[in-house]
Amino acid sequence: MGITTTTALIIMGISAAASAASAIAQGEAEARAAEFNASIAEQQAAREQEIAARDAAEFGRNADRVMSSQRALFAGSGLEVTGSALGVVTDTAGEAAFEELNILAGGDARAAGLRLQAKLSKQRGKNARTAGFLNAGTSVLGAASQAAGSGFFGKPASVTPTTGSFRFGGAGGQRQGGGF
């Protein structure tokens, strides 16, 4: 005893539904993974800025110690912190401030790169979710096309290769559709 057309179509429908559900689940899984990666990148961005702020502050404290040592050396030598000696301390302070800003800017640049990575990861997640739904639709449409080709809706559909038009046959006669 063979499989009836109805049974075959039911099996085809179940297969299409399973494929559609699988495509949606895969898209959702990829989207969740991308969103997780985005979250990690955002956390790393914040951490980079924290590290840069800590490093800049530490550099500033070290620079203050150097300037204090310079003043102590000048005072121990009997020099007042004026003129050239003041210029040395002032130059040290300026260089220290500049380096602190460089450290902070480096942290900001790394954080910006990580935030961009997070944004791209979120977009990949949205794209994966959309692709899941599109693949699900393709599965369902493929099954519908097979059903139409099997004659479930009347006579099997035929495509005229030269014009690209199609005809459905059935009990009610010929109906013609537009080109592809």
The pLDDT value recorded for residue 91 is 87
Is 60 domain-assigned? Answer: yes
Domain range for 146: 5-154
**Token pair in block for residue 16:** 């299409």
Mean pLDDT for back-to-back runs of 10 residues, the chain (180 residues): 76 90 95 96 97 95 88 77 75 91 96 96 95 93 81 58 50 46
Residue 163 belongs to a domain: no
pLDDT computed for residue 76 by the predictor:
80
115 inside domain: yes
**Domain-embedded: residue 177:** no
The pTM of the full predicted model, rounded to 2 decimals, is 0.64
**Residue 173 placed within a domain:** no
Q: In this predicted structure, what is the pLDDT of residue 1?
A: 53
Domains identified in the chain, total number: 1
Residue carrying the six token digits 């110690």: 65
Q: Which of 69, 56, 64 is nearest to 99 (CA)?
A: 56
pLDDT at 158: 55
Annotate 44-73 with three-state secondary structure.
HHHHHHHHHHHHHHHHHHHHHHHHHHHHHH
Cα–Cα nearest to 126, from 35, 14, 22, 9: 35
Question: What per-residue confidence (pLDDT) applies to 153?
Answer: 62
